Amino acid sequence: MEFAHEFTVAAPAARVYAHLMDPRNYIGLSPLVVEVRDIRPAGSVVSYVAVERFTFGPFHWNNPIRVTMTGEVPGQAIVSAVRSPGFVTLTSRVTLIPEVGGTTVRESIALTAPAPLRRFVLGQARSVQLHRAAELTRRMATA
């Protein structure tokens, strides 16, 4: 399954890139991420564990996911590969396009999930993508 979203932020591409390459910034940028740990930078690659929290009524489930983020084209493109329990994988490619007065952000996501989880995973991923766009737009406007 693949889907994409494009939006514009009021900040230069270099600032957006630096913000997105710091795993700690994903707390709140993704509404599910409540913790980031085991951050291991190695050149243009950053590996880390993000903890997603799912809430089902009064119950919470913390889902640790392994993320490898690569500054594929420094300052212009980031590829994140995510492995989650339950045989769920997600690859996100963010491309930054400088514009007058800001940056256009294009994010395409490809994901795989077992059939029983597919609808839930797709809904969550799309919801997170739209939240991330709104929150990044807000952060870039105020910083």
Closest to 80 in 3D by CA, of 140, 123, 115, 29? 29
Position of tokens 């809430």?
Answer: 55
* Block mean pLDDT (10 aa), the chain, length 143: 96 96 96 96 95 90 94 90 91 96 96 94 94 96 76
What pLDDT, on the 0 to 100 scale, is given for residue 22? 96
Cα end-to-end distance, the chain, whole Å: 34
**Ramachandran class of 28: left when φ > 0, alpha when ψ lies in -120 to 50, beta otherwise:** left
- As beta bridge partners, residue 112 has 89
For the chain, list the domains and their CATH numbers: 2-142 (3.30.530.20)
User: In 3-state terms, what secondary structure has residue 102?
Assistant: strand
Its pTM surpasses 0.85: yes
DSSP string, 43-56: TTEEEEEEEEEEEE
What pLDDT, on the 0 to 100 scale, is given for residue 143? 59
